[in-house]
Structure 1
Amino acid sequence: MSEPFGTRLRRAMDERGPLCVGIDPHASLLADWGLGDDVAGLERFSRTVVEAVADRVAVIKPQSAFFERFGSRGVAVLERVVEETRAAGALVVMDAKRGDIGSTMAGYAEAFLRKDAPLFSDALTVSPYLGYGSLAPAVELARESGTGLFVLALTSNPEGPEVQHAVRADGRSVAATVLAHLAAENTGAEPLGSFGAVVGATVGDLSSYDLAINGPLLAPGVGAQGATPADLPAVFGSAVGNVVPNVSRGVLRHGPDIAALRAATAAFAGEIRAAVAGS
C-alpha cells in the first residue's frame, strides 16, 4: 500500500503551505488570456498554470468538466496536466464530483484512483447524495491505492442548502451526517486522515457543525467568490489548520504572464499562512 493521501497532504501543506490552485479553463478565462475556446487554447492555458505554480503549491485542482467538453482531445490534455503537476511535486485533486451506485461508482473510482489509470490522481471530489454508503467502492479503492476523497458536505452554491441543511428523522442535518461519516473513516489516522470534506469558505456561520473530522477540508470560495484568507479562522475555527483553501480565478486572472501568476500565488499563500498562524 502506498503512503496514505492524508500523510502526503499534511507534509505538502507543512512544506509548501495549504494553498490549492484550481485550473478552471472556462471560455471567458481563455478569452481573457487571448486564447481560442478550443483544444489548443485549453492546452496553452492549463499547462501554463502548471508551469507557473505546480512547483510551489501543495495542491492543484483541475476541474474535469472544462476538459471533458472538448471530448477525447480535451481529456488527453487533462492527462498531461495530471502528469506534469505530479512531476513538479504538487498533489492532484481531480474535481469531478462523481457520485453513483454499485459498479458504476466503482468505474468512476477506477478512472481516477487506480494506479495505472491515465487520469490517476491523488484525490477525487465525490458526491454523497445517493446516500453516503454509495461511495463505498471509492472509499475502498482509495484505501487500497493510498489516495483520498473530498466529499461534498457544505457547498457554497445557493441551491445546496435544500439538500445539505435538510434535517433527518434523528434531528441531524444531512451535512452533519456526511461529516460524521468522514470522521469515522478517519478514526486513528495520523497525522491526517485521507477522507476530507468540501466546505465552502463563503457558507457563513459553521459553528453548529463539527468540522473536527481528522481529515482535510477543501474550501472553495477564496478570492473571486468573496472570501479572503483572513476570513478562514472565523469560518473554520479550531479546524483551520486542516483547511486547504482553493483559489481559482483570483490567481488565473493574472495569466498568461507566468511571473504574474507566481506573484498572485505567492500573495495568496502568504496571506493564508499568516491567517492560519495567527488563529
Structure 2
Amino acid sequence: MTEPFGARLRRAMDERGPLCVGIDPHASLLAEWGLNDDVAGLERFSRTVVEAVAGRVAVLKPQSAFFERFGSRGVAVLEESVREARAAGALVVMDAKRGDIGSTMAAYAESFLHKDAPLFSDALTVSPYLGYGSLRPAVDLARESGAGLFVLALTSNQEGAEVQHAVRDDGRSVGATMLAHLAAENAGEEPLGSFGAVVGATLGDLSAYDLGVNGPLLAPGIGAQGATPADLPRVFGAAVRNVVPSASRGVLRHGPDVGALRTAADRFAEEIRTAVTGS
C-alpha cells in the first residue's frame, strides 16, 4: 500500500523545508527568460525549473493551464515534467483546480490521481463550490492511491470573498465550512492528514478561522504577491508548521540560470524555516 500523501509531505517538509515552487510558464515569463512562447520554449522552461530545484525543495506545483494552452504537445511536456520532478524526489501538486459532479468529477480525479494516469500527481488542487460532497470521487481515489487534495478554502483573490466569506444559515462562513469538512476528513491521521486547504498567505489575520484541520495548508502569495516568510506566523498562528508556502515568480524570475534559481529557492526555504521555527 502506498504511504499516504500527508505522511510523505510531512517527511519532505521536515527534510527539505516546506517550500513549494510553482512552475508557471506564462508568456511574459518565457519572454523574460529569452524563450519563445511556443512548445519548445515551454519545454526548456519546465525542464530548467525541474533541473534546478526538484532535488532540493519539498514540492513543485505546475499550473496546468499554462501547459494546456499549447494543446496536446503542451500536455506532453507537463507529463514529462511531472515524471522528472517526482523522480528527483519532489512531491508534485498539480494546480488544476478541478471541480464538478458525479462521473465528470470522477474522470477529473482519474486524470490526476489514478496511479496509472500519465499525469498522476502526489496531490491535486480542487474547487468545492459545487458543494464539498461533489469532491467525493476525488477524495476516495486519492485515499486509494495514496495521494492528496488541496481544497480552495480562503483564496487571496478579491473575487473569492463573495463566495468564501458568505455566511450560511448556521452562522458559519462558506470558507470556514470547507475547513471543517477537511478537519473531519483528516481526523485521526498521523503524522499529517492528506486533505489540505488552499489559504492565501496575503490574507492577514486569520484568527477568526480554525486552521487546525490536521492537514497541510497550501499558501500562495509569497514573494511577488506581497507576502513574506516573516508574515507566516502572524497569518497562520498555531497551524504554521503545517503551512506549505508557495512561491512562483519570486523564484522563477531568477532564471534561466540554474544556479540563480537554486540560490533563490534556497533563500526562500531558509527564510521560511527561520520564520516557522523562530531560530
Q: TM-score range by the shorter chain?
A: over 0.9
Name 1:241's counterpart in structure 2.
241
Show the counterpart of 1:217. 217
Which position in structure 1 is the counterpart of 2:124? 124
Look up the match of 1:148. Answer: 148
TM-score scaled to structure 2, two decimals? 0.99
Segments of 4+ in structure 1 off by > 4 A?
A: none
Match of 1:43 in 2: 43
Q: State the match for 1:74 in structure 2.
A: 74
User: Matches of 1:185 and 1:176 in 2, distance apart?
Assistant: 14
* Number of the residue aligned with 2:90: 90
Output the CA distance in 1 between the equivalents of 2:135 and 2:58: 26
| Residue segments in structure 1 that go unaligned for 5+ positions in a row | none
Residue type matched to 1:166 in 2?
A
Asked if 1 retains the 8 angstrom alpha-carbon contact of 2:204 and 2:234, the reply is: no
The 2-side partners of 1:220 and 1:150 are apart by 12
Code of the residue aligned with 2:255 in structure 1: it is G
Report 1:179-218 matches (<5 A). 179-218=179-218
Instruction: Give SS of 1:9's match.
Output: helix
RMSD: 0.6
Pairwise CA distance, 1:203: 1.3
Aligned partner of residue 142 in structure 2, secondary structure? helix
For 2:171 and 2:258, how far apart are their aligned partners in 1? 50
Alpha-carbon displacement from aligned partner over 1:87-109 (angstroms, at most 9, x marks no partner): 00000000000000000000000
Alignment partner, residue 53 of structure 1 = 53
Equivalent in the alignment of 1:29: 29
* Residue aligned with 2:125, SS: strand
* 3-state SS of 2:198 partner: strand
Q: Does 1:101 align with 2:78?
A: no
Whether contact under 8 Å (2:94, 2:125) holds in the other structure is: yes
Q: Which residue of 2 aligns with 1:8?
A: 8
Secondary structure of the 1:198 match is strand
Q: 2 CA distance for matches of 1:207 and 1:86?
A: 35
Separation of aligned partners in 1, 2:21 and 2:147? 19
Kindly indicate whether residue 169 of structure 2 is the aligned counterpart of residue 169 of structure 1: yes
User: Structure 1, residues 17-54: CA drift from partner, whole Å, max 9, x if none?
Assistant: 00000000000000000000000000000110000000
Aligned to 1:207, the other structure's residue is in SS state coil
Q: Which secondary structure does the structure 2 equivalent of 1:171 belong to? A: coil
Secondary structure of 2:224's counterpart equals: coil
Per-residue CA deviation, residues 196-218 of structure 1 (Å, 9 max, x unaligned), is 00000001220100000000000
Which letter does structure 1 place at the counterpart of 2:11?
A: R
TM (normalized to structure 1)? 0.99
Cα offsets for 1:164-223 (capped at 9, x unmatched): 000000000000000000000000000000000000000122010000000000000000
CA distance in 2, matches of 1:201, 1:185: 23
Q: Distance in 1 between matches of 2:204 and 2:25?
A: 28
Letter in 1 for 2:202: T
SS of residue matched to 1:246: strand
Measured in 2, the distance between the counterparts of 1:276 and 1:207 equals: 17
